[in-house]
Structure 1
């Protein structure tokens, strides 16, 4: 039985686990303290009675698994259990008892990890299922049938999904688009140069135009706390076995002898007495000669283990723009432990994670963001909400660059789900403005004060233009676009981050492997830097035409929207069918009887939904009512010279996910499939307003009247500013619904 996973750490107490379960809607007794606290908080937020809130929040635990992460020395062990079993045992245990003892877990009980099965196969053993180095689900074979707990709730029940096919993943990459009997409730509608020139000593004419090397991080595998140690960062002739990071490619301007590159480190559990930033001056003729030195002091481990597992993450910057990353695992031990512990026979050693090659191209961004906010997770523990924030900017930052700690708590994922549910509940109620305002305050509270200082500094430096902000987050769930700015940068606009600044999101995932090639350089999906310009020769438009047999509401405004855009841009018109989706993803399109291959822009108008009960549950709805999982778009044959912008004008398509091992949902899978930018809605959107939004977006981002194109981030900032809480009885929340993954100043260029 393959089940979506709730990730827990075995160092958590029974009470902490019950709190986590409550936020998923799992409890045995709603009056139990942890469940009651969550229900009461939700009831107060939504203006509901306790019983009404409990009824709306509760979900059955059938078909859900718990992926339990345990640190044992330098080893990481995983255990798989049904949620019902863990829930019942925690309910019966003392509140302060750690899960390790509550569940009576032993080293030998930890099974080998299971790699994500291909082609919908079901694992034939119990264990945690992984894609790369992240848990994606739980496989549990029936081991007992007796009731667990006082209510008789059993560990496994009938009716749970039996395979990936029950989630809609039927050979997602190539074929076998069989019908599914899944029932999905959906709605879209009411209801600067990089070199230091030195012309006195020119380079020999034989010097190649590209300088190539590999990232070098010389650091100990193990360091005792309170004892200073040194880390050297530079370039090497070959790849280091312990380092995650691909080949470094340096475009060499003519007559340049040196290239200056910023080096920034991110890690947790460390202090950097001399700072976290350095400038690496690379000699083009001998790029491996130079290095920079960092001095660190490890902090005493705070958990039950005498070791803290972390990662040294290196960012390479050119003119304030992050151009690539590299990383190396590190273990910090207790101050009196001068030698690392022996490697143990079970689990996976923290230091043995396989390196991944993602190319690093040290080229400047021609229109860099005024501020880059990067939220990283160096501890690699998906069971916690601890992150590190770094700020990058070509302008001075008053509070420094960090790193600054961020604690998202235990509910980053459930927060996003609750917000979607709240807006769906209050879509036709004036209280929808209160939901949005409260969410904005809560999200802002999660960000360090230095972020808001940096935003104001960037706004002052970029004036009179609004500041461009690139947000790169290891967390795919939190809708940072809604973060409240009090006081706002521009009082004439709604006080939400996405309406105040020119905002773009991006993914920078060190687990990605390089694919394809471009000019002899391996192309990463997505690349470290989002594209700043996209030439558009051909556009494809797909519309969902829903009739009664589909079981979905017809969307007349979406149909008109698609027809208008297709006519304005002489677009390739595609049916919302499996056949046309495959042609789009495989870049096998024809237009006016000619083979054009792929396109540079795609627009979809139709239904979408998110099912939180399945892995990576964002779905696009085809005209026949069939849900199409986002995972399919990871197989797209784009990237390199052709990276289309994808506008998915459907409900909840913009919601991120990571249940398939890395940043998923439509944003993650589309960018991994080679798309260069994506616009999508985070929640349920009004059919009429969605049409107005889409038409206005394309008119300004890709004008047909000869006027200059407006950067995508600026267009979206202006459209979000249409939100007016005082306009009408019910505010049109659709204006704030859209999330954008791409360069904040991405500009589209029409190609005849």
Structure 2
């Protein structure tokens, strides 16, 4: 190219401009249209070029830029000037060049960055080597399995590993201990491996970043904060230096929560109590007791780690451990400077439920002429409870990426709707997070992995015709679901609904829709949704006989409405969110408080068509409906989204 290329960038526009300069110089006249955008932690390349060589090189050049880790190549070739290239080479999702992992800080101590791949100058020798490689896969440290965008699926293999957590050092107040987290092929007496995922048969390496949390820890310093899985060769473990809290009591539980992320996408978690290990025998002599303690492996616990390498993560992910007392937050964001991680704590001053109830109890009855201002005040009250570091991270992400970037909350706290936060900046011009951005939530510690895709299948609609308290708009919604979206009207009975849950519907199911009354639980397991003849309670869903979730992973839409004197759904959403995650469903859309019949139908009309067609992600579809109706009714602000914020429906 004749000059040194600067591979840094501070905005998507700058990234697009620099890539265009490179391609125009290398492929004169072949670039018809070029567009670079960001979807979560993935850079999307679209437009039109005149050759497969240009298309493939555009992807490779884009991956050379600082902080570009995932690329989805959607460039179209308008004219084939040479033989089409192998899609497995040109459409790989990740960088294929050897690289070093940098270490970046976000104000809360150093954290390893899994981004930061760069090539400071053009290297024609490397390009010739790359193009001439037989498999088209040149992978170095930290490079994951690549996706395949061709028409045929490549052969795949199932990968499983044994989670290991080992610690060494004295587990006592103020001590510094070393913690090692791995995913190994060696069973070493462990009972069950974890199914990590399905990868291309020729995969070589996959990198996962690791975060650890424990309320008994004062600080955590990563030495190597990521795990590198290898098809051939040993796994590289993540290592941390941890300082035990001065308040820790020797012999008490030392529960360590471990979270695994691929980019910004949460893959799962495992749980260990490091205090449960064999103590020195009382009869051991002084010399024996003085020997350095060997690394101790904590007993296994239930966990899940499911990696979907070609799934996009959000631009900002927030993990919230703990419900009451002190909540521990960890966040990871993506931007032009790659990945940045931070942490902080939240003190609510009361139980999470009490905090949420104080703010939300009056929401269903807020006056039509003042609810918007009241809700803004509630949003700012929630914002002020978030850690200072998180608020700074959000504003930094907003400055770099603008409005609309997706946010994923993964939380132990089912009560506080953190997505309702409204930043008190710029004179109040910034709206609630879930109006400004696609946002979704999911339980943090659950056996139900996030699903990035909803399968093709039936849409099943349950809409009771109550003899009393008629819901006119729910009836219209039923007709609309079937006539416009191709739904199947189901018998709105308790037995029919339970049969569906138990997997007795023979065909694949992608969406389960309910429009009717809901009952809030009074503490006696009496909450649920009201079918034509009886109520289906939450505990009847939250059990092992529920098979449809694990089988098909459908989305559930609970459009529980209220008539003028009807039942409501206040507080129902929180319990259903946990049940949906634990029983394998792909997601849930439901209101947090009572909503009116007409606005419930409107929210369905404004969200489901673009979602089911695959035009919008789960988070974006509901955000758009919420944004459209935010000035009309407070009910529009009641709807929360559970699942993978980036999830899409399959179109075939």
When residues 258 and 697 of structure 1 are mapped into structure 2, their CA distance, relative to the original with a 3 A threshold, is: closer
CA RMSD in angstroms comes to 3.7
Cα shift readout 1:383-420 (whole Å, capped 9, x = no counterpart): x4222111123437899523311223322113334445
Instruction: Find 2:226's aligned residue among 276, 279, 294.
Output: 279
* Pair 1:234-2:182 in alignment: yes
Cα shift readout 1:130-167 (whole Å, capped 9, x = no counterpart): xxxxxxxxxxxxxxxxxxxxxxxxxxxxxxxxxxxxxx
Q: For residues 313 and 241 of structure 1, what CA distance do their matches in structure 2 show?
A: 22
Q: For residues 428 and 436 of structure 2, what CA distance do their matches in structure 1 show?
A: 6
| Corresponding residue number in structure 1 for 2:313 | 368
Q: For residues 337 and 465 of structure 2, what CA distance do their matches in structure 1 show?
A: 50
Instruction: Find 1:646's aligned residue among 528, 545, 556.
Output: 556
Q: For residues 426 and 598 of structure 2, what CA distance do their matches in structure 1 show?
A: 29
Q: For residues 392 and 374 of structure 2, what CA distance do their matches in structure 1 show?
A: 26
Answer yes or no: is the 8 Å Cα contact 1:420–1:682 preserved in 2: no
| Corresponding residue number in structure 2 for 1:193 | 94
Q: For residues 341 and 408 of structure 1, what CA distance do their matches in structure 2 show?
A: 44
Instruction: Find 1:457's aligned residue among 364, 371, 396.
Output: 396
When residues 386 and 397 of structure 1 are mapped into structure 2, their CA distance, relative to the original with a 3 A threshold, is: farther
Instruction: Find 1:358's aligned residue among 303, 313, 324.
Output: 303
Answer yes or no: is the 8 Å Cα contact 1:654–1:680 preserved in 2: no
Secondary structure, counterpart of 2:225 in structure 1:
strand
Gaps of 5+ in 1: 1-191, 202-206, 333-337, 343-350, 513-525, 590-595, 658-663, 726-730
Shift of 1:573: 0.9
Instruction: Find 1:421's aligned residue among 361, 373, 384.
Output: 361
* Pair 1:445-2:351 in alignment: no
Q: For residues 190 and 615 of structure 2, what CA distance do their matches in structure 1 show?
A: 45
Secondary structure, counterpart of 1:603 in structure 2:
strand
* Pair 1:314-2:258 in alignment: yes
Secondary structure, counterpart of 1:539 in structure 2:
strand
Q: For residues 357 and 229 of structure 2, what CA distance do their matches in structure 1 show?
A: 47
Q: Which moved more, 1:671-680 or 1:429-438?
A: 429-438
Shift of 1:256: 4.6
Q: For residues 611 and 363 of structure 1, what CA distance do their matches in structure 2 show?
A: 36
When residues 267 and 257 of structure 1 are mapped into structure 2, their CA distance, relative to the original with a 3 A threshold, is: same
Answer yes or no: is the 8 Å Cα contact 2:165–2:298 preserved in 1: no
Instruction: Find 2:588's aligned residue among 678, 686, 699.
Output: 678
Instruction: Find 2:409's aligned residue among 456, 467, 471.
Output: 471
Q: For residues 627 and 341 of structure 1, what CA distance do their matches in structure 2 show?
A: 59
* Pair 1:262-2:209 in alignment: yes
Where do residues 48-127 of structure 1 align in structure 2 (5 Å cutoff)?
A: none
| Corresponding residue number in structure 1 for 2:452 | 532
Cα shift readout 1:532-570 (whole Å, capped 9, x = no counterpart): 22233311111121113xxxx211111111111112133
When residues 276 and 434 of structure 1 are mapped into structure 2, their CA distance, relative to the original with a 3 A threshold, is: farther
Shift of 1:272: 4.0
Answer yes or no: is the 8 Å Cα contact 1:246–1:360 preserved in 2: no
* Pair 1:622-2:566 in alignment: no
* Pair 1:218-2:138 in alignment: no
Say which structure, 1 or 2, has more relative contact order (CA 8 Å, 6+ apart).
1
| Corresponding residue number in structure 1 for 2:243 | 297
TM-score (norm 1): 0.58
Shift of 1:458: 3.0
| Corresponding residue number in structure 2 for 1:23 | none
Answer yes or no: is the 8 Å Cα contact 1:607–1:650 preserved in 2: yes
| Corresponding residue number in structure 1 for 2:128 | none
Shift of 1:355: 4.0
Where do residues 234-633 of structure 1 align in structure 2 (5 Å cutoff)?
A: 234-238=182-186, 246-247=193-194, 249=196, 251-253=198-200, 255-272=202-219, 274-275=221-222, 278-288=225-235, 290-301=236-247, 309-331=253-275, 355-377=300-322, 384-395=324-335, 401-424=341-364, 426-428=365-367, 430-433=369-372, 435-463=374-402, 466-487=404-425, 491=429, 495-510=431-446, 512=447, 526-527=448-449, 530-548=450-468, 553-589=469-505, 596-615=506-525, 618-624=527-533, 626-633=534-541
Answer yes or no: is the 8 Å Cα contact 2:274–2:298 preserved in 1: no
Answer yes or no: is the 8 Å Cα contact 1:678–1:741 preserved in 2: yes
* Pair 1:737-2:647 in alignment: no
When residues 485 and 674 of structure 1 are mapped into structure 2, their CA distance, relative to the original with a 3 A threshold, is: same
| Corresponding residue number in structure 1 for 2:628 | 722
Q: For residues 682 and 462 of structure 1, what CA distance do their matches in structure 2 show?
A: 29
| Corresponding residue number in structure 2 for 1:709 | 615
Cα shift readout 1:236-291 (whole Å, capped 9, x = no counterpart): 34557899x95253655465543333222222332446447613333322334x33
Q: For residues 240 and 410 of structure 1, what CA distance do their matches in structure 2 show?
A: 44
Answer yes or no: is the 8 Å Cα contact 1:474–1:507 preserved in 2: yes
Q: Which moved more, 1:559-568 or 1:578-587?
A: 578-587
Q: For residues 273 and 691 of structure 1, what CA distance do their matches in structure 2 show?
A: 48
When residues 488 and 200 of structure 1 are mapped into structure 2, their CA distance, relative to the original with a 3 A threshold, is: closer
Q: For residues 653 and 313 of structure 1, what CA distance do their matches in structure 2 show?
A: 33
Shift of 1:598: 4.5
When residues 230 and 306 of structure 1 are mapped into structure 2, their CA distance, relative to the original with a 3 A threshold, is: closer
Shift of 1:209: 3.6
| Corresponding residue number in structure 2 for 1:137 | none
Q: For residues 513 and 163 of structure 2, what CA distance do their matches in structure 1 show?
A: 39
When residues 427 and 272 of structure 1 are mapped into structure 2, their CA distance, relative to the original with a 3 A threshold, is: closer
